[in-house]
Structure 1
Amino acid sequence: MIRSGFTFSIVLFSLIFHNSWSHNLPDTTKYNLVLIVADDLGYGDLGFTGSTQIKTPNIDQLAASGVTFTQGYVSSAVCSPSRAGLITGVNQVEFGHDNNLAENQPGFDPEYLGMPLSQKTLADLLKPYGYVNGLIGKWHLGKEPQFHPLKRGFDEFWGYTGGGHDYFEALPEGKGYKEPIESNFKTPAPLTYITDDVGNECVDFITRHKSEPFFLFASFNAPHTPMQALEEDLALYQNILDEKRRTYAAMVHRLDINVGKIIHSLEENGIKENTLVVFISDNGGPADSNASINAPYRGQKGILLEGGIHVPFILNLPAKYPEGQISNQTVSSLDIAPTFLALASQGKSELKGFSGVDLNPSLTGSTSIELEREIKWKFTISRAIRHGDWKLVSIPDRLPMLYNLKEDPSELNNLALEKSDITQSLLKKLGDWEVSLPHPVFLEGAQWRKRQLSLYDETYQLTQPEKE
C-alpha cells in the first residue's frame, strides 16, 4: 500500500509539474481558423438556442463541445456593415461603413462604394504568419475591382461579391441574385443548391490545405432570401403549416448539414483538435421577410433592439478551450479578429487598433472579460449602447429606450424616465462617441430609414411556437 501510494504521488506530481511547466512554454502550435457565418438566421432557430421546430444537430454538437456565449453580439443589424466589423475587428462606423451596401446614391463617388481600402482585413493580418486565406460564399463588401476579396488578403475565392444569391441558378451575364459564381482556382460548375455548394467547396479547401495553417471564411447565404429549399428538406418539415416558415426551416436544416460537413472534414483530416471554429449569424433574423424567430428577443434585422444584433455565438477549439462551457460574459463579433490573430501569431502580435478584444485569456482561464463591458452601435437612424446589464437605444421619433437586460431580456419595460440618471449617463457616452465618428463613405437608399423606424413598433414572437 505504501509503495502504491508513493508511486501514485510521483505520477501525480509529474503530471502537475508537466502541466505547470508546459503552460508557461511558448505556444508553437499553428492553429487553423474557420469562421462560419450564417446569413439572417433567427436567434431562436437552432436547437441549442431553444427551437422547438428546427433540428440542427451539427451546430448543437459544435456548441456542446465548445464554448457558447449567451450574450453574443454583432456590430450591426444588417449584412454589409456587420461583415465589415467582423472581418476587421474594428467597429465599422469608425471607418465610415455605417450603411448597408447597395446602389450608389446621388452625390457619392462610386469609387468608394465598398469597405474602405485603408482598412486591413483579418486575411491581410494573417498573411505575415504564413496563413493561406480562403473565402467561400458571400462577400458583400464592394463589387468594384479594388474591393475584391482577392485584393483584400484572400488567396482563394469561390463565391459572389453581392449581398444575396439565388440558391439554384447563376447566369454567366446575370445580375443581382443571378450573378455568376467566381473562382480563381477552378472553373465553377453549375450550382446544385448553393448551401451544399458552399459546404462542398469548404471541404475541398480544408482537404487541399490541411498540411498548412489556413483561415477559412465559410460565408453562407442561408437562410437569406430568396426563400428556396430542397424538396427533400421541405418534406421533413411538412408539419409546419405556414409555407414560408416551412421553407425557412428546411433552409436552416440544410445549413446545419453543411456545417456538419465542415466539422467532419476537420475530423477526417486529423486537424479538428487544433482548429478554432467560430459560428455566428451576421445579424438577427428578418422575421417579416424570411419567417425567422428571434425569441426570446424583440426586434429583427435592421434595428438595434436585441432581435437585430443578439446572435448565436460559438467558439470551439478542443486543444485549448473548455468543452461544454456556457458563458454569460458579453462578447462581440469584433472580438473574432483579435482572437484569431492572437492564436495565429502565437502571442507575438500587439493587437493594436482593434475595437474588439482577444478572448483567449478568458477562454483559457488566465483572465476574465470585464463584467461591465461597454459596447456601442450605430446604424443609420439608430444608435445604442450596452454597459453591464443596461442598454439604451435612441432613435429619431421618440424619447430614449432604457432596458435592464438581466431582468428584461425581451426589452418590454422602458425604464428611461424612472432611471433618468442612467439614461443621461449612457446618452452622454453615446453622444460623445457619435460626434467623433467620420462621415459615412456611402449611403443606402433613403427609403430604408423609414422602414427601419417602423420596425421598432412591430409585434414580435417572443416564445417558441407550439409543436404542430
Structure 2
Amino acid sequence: MKRPNIVFIVADDLGYADLGCYGGRDAEFGPVSPVLDGLAARGLKFTQGYSNSPVCSPTRFAMITGRYQYRLRGAAEEPIRSDRGSTTLGLPPEHPTLPSLLKDSGYRTALIGKWHLGYPPHFGPLKSGYEEFFGPLSGGVDYFTHCDSRGNHDLWHGEEERHEERYLTDLLTERAIDYLDRMAAQDAPFFLSLHYTAPHWPWETREDEGRAPQVKDNLFDLSGGNIHTYRRMVHHMDEGIGRIMSALERNGIDQDTLVVFTSDNGGERFSDSWPLVGGKMDLTEGGIRVPWIAHWPALIAPGGVSRQHCLTMDWSATMLDAAGVAADPAYALDGVSLLPVLRDAGHHFQRPMYWRMNHRGQQALREGDWKYLRVDGNDYLFDLSADERERANKARVEPERLLRLRAAWEAWNATMPPIPADATVSLGYSVKDMPQR
C-alpha cells in the first residue's frame, strides 16, 4: 500500500456534540458543521474516542509522542502557562515524536497552528520534528491581535515573530492550503498538523475585531460570548476544513491522504456535550470524550461507525503504522494502532484506558463498558453502556467490581512517575464567575 499523506486536524476545546454528526443542533444560520458532517459520512466516525486529558497541553504531549503524557514533566502542568524561559516545562527535543519519526523516514513535516508544548529557546516545533511552523506557541491568543493572556504577541513563522492582520482561523487555513499546494508538487509524502485554536476563547467571530481591545486584559473573556458566537466560531473552522479538502482534491491527492479530525479535550463554557456531563478539566465523559473522524478513500469505506475505545495517542501509533514507520524501541508507544479499525469499522479489540488529574485528585479507568472514577476523594462506578451521563453510581451495588478497577488503576499509576509537588493547575475561572460549569 502506498504511504499516505497525513493531515491531522485538531480543534481546541470542542465539545462532543458541537458537530451535527454527533447530535449537535443547527444554529440560527443553519448547520454548524456541514463539512465535517460530510467528512464523517464519507469516512469513519468513532463514537467512543477520547482525549488523553481534559486540558490542552497534556493531551498534546500524548498526541505528539504516542505515549501517556504522565511520563514527561511538562505534561504535569494543567496546562502549561504563558510563562516563558522555563528549561523543564516543555517537550524535550531529544524525545522521539510523531513528526520526527516520520521526517526521518522521508516525510515532509509541518505544524500550522497551536503548539503549547514549551517555549524557545529550549523547546519548540522545529526542535521536535517539524520542518515548518506557523502559529502561536501559547495556549490561547486573541484571534485578531494574536496576543496571549499576558499581552505578549504570539504568532510565529519558524522561530521568527510574524505580524499578520487576519482572523486567526482563516490565517491558519490559508497557510495550510499554501503548504498543500507546495507539497503536491513534490514526490515525498507529507505530514501536516493543522491545530486550530478554534473554538477556544476569546469569543470572537470574523466580524468581532472591535472586541479585541475589550478582551486585551481578560483573554478568558469571562463577561463575553454566547452560544451564537460560539457556533459561528466552530462554523468558521468547518469552512476552513472545507477549503483544505478542496485543496486536496484540486491537487489530485485526496484519495491517498489520511485526514483525521479530533479535539484536544472536551468542551468549554458554551459547548454542547449532550448526553455527557462535565467539560474541560473534568474526567467525567464530557471532559474527555470528543469527536473522532477519519477519512482516507484509498482504505476507509464510507459511512462507517466504530465503537472502538481509543485515546488521542492511538492516532500517533496509527499514523506511524500507516506510514510503515517503527517507533523508537527506547520509547515504546502506549498508543495502539487503529489501522485494523480503519480497514474494517466492525473490528474491535479490548483495552483499558487510564487517566489522572492533579486538579481535584481525579483518576479514571475505562474497561469495557465500566468506568471507575475518583473525584475529590469520592469513588464512583458507572456502566457506560446504560448510563453515559454518569448519574447512576454503582459503587455500592458493585463493590467487588469497584475494588478491582480501583486496584487496576493503582497498579497502572505505580508504573507512571508521580505528580510533582510543584506541578500547577491553572483555572481561568471558578464558581465565583459562573454558577455551574
**What is the TM-score normalised by the length of structure 2?**
0.87
Which of 286, 305, 321 is equivalent to 2:284?
305
Name 2:176's counterpart in structure 1.
Answer: 202
Name 2:238's counterpart in structure 1.
Answer: 256
Asked if 1:36 is matched to 2:9, the reply is: yes
**Mean alpha-carbon deviation: is it higher for 40-49 or for 52-61?**
52-61
SS of corresponding position for 1:401 = strand
Which of 190, 194, 199 is equivalent to 1:218?
194
Residue type at the aligned position of 1:359: L
CA distance in 1, matches of 2:300, 2:150: 41
SS of corresponding position for 1:30 = coil
Name 1:463's counterpart in structure 2.
Answer: none
- C-alpha deviations, 1:178-209, integer Å up to 9, x for none? 52311139984523100000111110111111
Shift of 1:170: 3.2
Distance 1:160 1:73, change over 3 A: same
Name 2:218's counterpart in structure 1.
Answer: none
Residue type at the aligned position of 2:256: N
Residue type at the aligned position of 2:88: Y
SS of corresponding position for 1:218 = strand
Shift of 1:443: 5.0
Residue type at the aligned position of 2:80: A
Which of 302, 322, 347 is equivalent to 2:301?
322
Asked if 1:276 is matched to 2:253, the reply is: no
Specify every segment of 5 or more residues in structure 1 that has no aligned partner in the other structure, as ranges: 1-26, 234-241, 461-468
Name 1:402's counterpart in structure 2.
Answer: 381
CA distance in 2, matches of 1:188, 1:94: 33
Name 1:124's counterpart in structure 2.
Answer: 100
Shift of 1:148: 0.7
Residue type at the aligned position of 2:7: V
Aligned length: 410
Residue type at the aligned position of 1:59: L
Distance 1:227 1:50, change over 3 A: same
- C-alpha deviations, 1:422-454, integer Å up to 9, x for none? 100000011111122113468554564996xx7
CA distance in 2, matches of 1:87, 1:350: 12
Instruction: After TM superposition, list the pairs within 5 Å mapping 1:327-342 onto structure 2.
Output: 327-342=306-321
CA contact (8 A) 1:113 1:144 kept: no
Asked if 1:149 is matched to 2:125, the reply is: yes
CA distance in 1, matches of 2:136, 2:420: 22
SS of corresponding position for 2:260 = strand
CA distance in 2, matches of 1:165, 1:250: 18
Distance 1:281 1:442, change over 3 A: farther
Instruction: After TM superposition, list the pairs within 5 Å mapping 1:378-393 onto structure 2.
Output: 378-380=356-358, 381-393=361-373
CA distance in 2, matches of 1:232, 1:148: 31
- C-alpha deviations, 1:204-247, integer Å up to 9, x for none? 111111133110000100010111112399xxxxxxxx951111
Residue type at the aligned position of 1:369: H
Name 2:33's counterpart in structure 1.
Answer: 56
Residue type at the aligned position of 1:331: C
Shift of 1:322: 1.3
Residue type at the aligned position of 2:313: L
CA contact (8 A) 1:286 1:292 kept: yes
Which aligned segments of 4 or more residues in structure 1 are displaced greater than 6 angstroms? none
- C-alpha deviations, 1:359-400, integer Å up to 9, x for none? 112322499331x321001121211000000001112332x1
**What is the TM-score normalised by the length of structure 1?**
0.82
Shift of 1:102: 3.3
Shift of 1:99: 2.6
CA contact (8 A) 1:403 1:411 kept: yes
Distance 1:279 1:446, change over 3 A: closer
Distance 1:175 1:72, change over 3 A: closer
Name the % identity.
36
Residue type at the aligned position of 1:330: H
CA distance in 1, matches of 2:240, 2:423: 32
Shift of 1:175: 6.8
Asked if 1:165 is matched to 2:141, the reply is: yes
Distance 1:228 1:429, change over 3 A: same
CA contact (8 A) 1:104 1:443 kept: no
CA distance in 2, matches of 1:228, 1:86: 27
CA contact (8 A) 2:78 2:425 kept: no
Specify every segment of 5 or more residues in structure 2 that has no aligned partner in the other structure, as ranges: 210-223
CA distance in 1, matches of 2:25, 2:345: 37
CA contact (8 A) 2:6 2:190 kept: yes
Quote the RMSD (CA, aligned, Å). Answer: 2.8
Which of these two proteins has the greater Rg computed from alpha carbons? 1
Distance 1:134 1:69, change over 3 A: same
CA distance in 2, matches of 1:286, 1:81: 16
Distance 1:185 1:286, change over 3 A: closer
